[in-house]
Chains A and B, each alone.
Chain A
Amino acid sequence: MNISLRQLFGRKPKSSSIAKQRLKLVITQDRLDVDDRFMTRLHHELAEVLAKYFEFSVNSVSMSLKQEGNSYVLVADIPYKKFHDVNARQ
């Protein structure tokens, strides 16, 4: 019953919540005066370090700055395939 009604009315994420979420990110970066080059550099350098520990695809890394109350948070989403065995290397 519930499922058929849901199918009837659709269940896409509301575009207004997507708008809000995207705005929050971009405004945080605007406020911090963060330019794109800064984020790109951070992205590359962080990936370089992380590559020593994880196997992952550089293109799948997403990074953003968020504001939570009065503080800023750097959120990185890095889907990885597996850990490198760091000890075995040494």
Chain B
Amino acid sequence: MGKVIVVTSGKGGVGKTTSTANLGTALALLGKTVVVVDADVGLRNLDIVMGLESRIVYTSMDVIEKQCELSKALVKDRRVDGLTLLAASQKNNKDDIQPEQMKTICDKLRSEHDFVLIDSPAGIERGFSNASAGADEAIVVTTPDVSAIRDADRIIGLLQHAGIEPINLVLNRFSPELVGNGSMMDQEDVLDILNIDLIGIVPEDTGVITSTNRGIPLVYEDASPGSQAYMRIARRLTGQRIPIPDLEQKGLLTNIVNWFRNR
């Protein structure tokens, strides 16, 4: 029996799809069986971010409408063993799927995989309730800015209300430099506000953009800081205890400057 984890945020554009693609791939690289599910019906993206867009034949809609078996709708990622994708229908909209139907799909997938990661659409309406309907746990992705954090708090409230637990936070697009000069909130500020557990910090990394251009998840690139951050989060998801490194590696000069600034 595996775990169904919804990757969600409230606000759009904070890195849900990027995180789902990279964590799914990372978990498969660690030897787990994984299916990533695109729950963004009508605005699907996970397929193109993962570079699997040309191979989609069936979607979750076809499974719900009994046009095809669930196992036939799973697209196998040929680059790594144990990773498949269930795409969202692009010609339907969010109201065409019921939360109960998503739950049925999740229940089946859970029994055959170690991890089921669900890429949630933005918002707090139907798309969110569909994406979270079958979830055991949640990963909330936020960037360290006021609107993303406020929306994350709303989503956390809804997840708690639905009894989904644990809820872990991924702090994305973190910039040690901006934190260092006082223009970005650090992880302690964010955790103090949101009051949930942090599972990892992903730095701002141009590698995310180039890897998305190519359709090759960043975790295949060992050296990039974003890749290493996602690999660590994946290990934590498998239960390994790996401390969260302090990304605030300020130089001596920055420290001195900040000391005067903050007086």
Known: A14-B183, A16-B184. A6 touches B145 (CB 8 A): no
What are 15 contact pairs spanning A and B, CB under 8 A? A11-B260, A11-B261, A14-B182, A14-B183, A14-B261, A15-B182, A15-B183, A16-B179, A17-B182, A17-B189, A19-B145, A20-B189, A20-B193, A23-B150, A26-B150
Judge whether A22 is part of the interface by a CB distance below 8 angstroms: yes
Is the C-beta of B257 less than 8 angstroms from some C-beta in chain A? Answer: yes
Residue of A nearest to B256 (CB): A9
Known: A14-B261, A17-B182, A23-B146. A30 touches B154 (CB 8 A): yes
Q: Mark A22-39, 1 if CB is under 8 A from B, else 0.
A: 111011001100000000
In whole angstroms, what is the CA distance A67 to B1 when docked?
40
Contact of B150 among A8, A12, A17, A27 (CB under 8 A): A27
Q: How many chain B residues have a CB neighbour from A under 8 Å?
A: 21
Residues in A neighbouring B186, C-beta threshold 8 A? 16
Which 3 pairs from chain A and chain B are nearest by CB? A14-B182, A9-B260, A20-B189
Query: Shortest beta-carbon distance, B117 to chain A, in Å?
Result: 27
Q: Are B261 and A31 in contact (CB under 8 A)?
A: no
Contact with A along B134-166 (1 / 0, CB 8 A): 000000000001100110011001000000000
In the complex, B262 has a CB within 8 A of chain A = yes
Residue of A nearest to B153 (CB): A27
* Least Cβ–Cβ distance between B201 and chain A, in angstroms: 15
Chain B residue with Cβ nearest A8: B260
Bound CA span A9–B263, Å: 11
The answer, yes or no, to whether B65 is at the interface (CB within 8 Å) is: no
Residues of chain A contacted by B157 (CB below 8 angstroms):
31
Instruction: Report the minimum CB–CB distance from A16 to chain B (whole Å).
Output: 5
B43 sits at the interface (CB 8 A) = no
A-B contact count (CB 8 A): 51
Apart from the given pairs A12-B261, A14-B262, A23-B146, 13 other A-B contacts in the complex at a CB distance below 8 Å:
A5-B260, A8-B260, A9-B257, A11-B260, A14-B261, A16-B182, A16-B185, A16-B186, A16-B189, A17-B182, A20-B192, A23-B150, A27-B150
Interface residues of A in 65-83 (CB under 8 A from B): none
Given A6-B263, A14-B262, A16-B184, are A27 and B193 also a contact pair (CB < 8 Å)?
Answer: yes
Report how far A12 CA is from B157 CA in the complex, Å: 34
B79 to chain A, nearest CB (A): 39
Chain B residues whose CB sits within 8 angstroms of the CB of A5 once the complex forms: 260
Which residues of B have CB within 8 Å of A16?
179, 182-186, 189
A6 and B256 alpha carbons, distance in the complex (Å): 11
A23 with B183: in contact, given A6-B263, A11-B263, A16-B189 (CB under 8 Å)?
A: no
A residues near B257, Cβ cutoff 8 Å: 9
Tell me the smallest distance from the CB of B233 to a CB of chain A, in Å. Answer: 24
The chain A residue with its CB closest to the CB of B157 is A31
Q: Is the CB of B182 within 8 A of A30?
A: no
**Provided the pairs A14-B183, A15-B183 are in contact, do residues A31 and B263 lie with their beta carbons within 8 angstroms?**
no
